[in-house]
Chains A and B, each alone.
Chain A
Amino acid sequence: EVQLVESGGGLVQPGGSLRLSCAASGFTFSSYAMSWVRQAPGKGLEWVSAISGSGGSTYYADSVKGRFTISRDNSKNTLYLQMNSLRAEDTAVYYCAKGIRYFAQVSYMDVWGKGTTVTVSS
């Protein structure tokens, strides 16, 4: 069974940093692109970032470009999101999602984790 389990969320002050992790199991992790999607309290879904199967290609939403970094360790079947210079508007549940192909382009997200909550507040 394909499983994605996010961790690393918590309360952080504005300007602070946090690293999210997503542990994957049940599929050949390195063969699939992965994404992060977030949802602010009471709001809709917002795509944040995507990465190809090798990690060689990465993509970001303008709202996080230059502050967040997506990466993956295929030897550990784990996806990461390093979040720096956090703002109140980054407060959200962060989901990791599996793509359906190696490349992140035109890759729909078929399996999602349960999410981890990030709260940016002083």
Chain B
Amino acid sequence: SQQGEEDPQALSIQEGENATMNCSYKTSINNLQWYRQNSGRGLVHLILIRSNEREKHSGRLRVTLDTSKKSSSLLITASRAADTASYFCARGSNYKLTFGKGTLLTVNP
């Protein structure tokens, strides 16, 4: 079964706006990772947050992790049309990743 379920399933925003995607999971993790997938292409690693961390930044990305609620959020600030993609969270444990179904983000120019 897949864990790391993303919410919403789809999100459409205007260029320049912020986009927030959420991820929930069911079992314990060592880390939580976010990946991006452009249409018809492989996944690209965006950011990793360890289970003992609460917040992490990378450029326009901000990830938070709340292990008590078993949830994470990914914030993309000042979105661009090139950010249009599917975003997946993946629960990391024992050198293994379990992916959710993803959020399809559309950024309209």
- State whether these chains interact: no
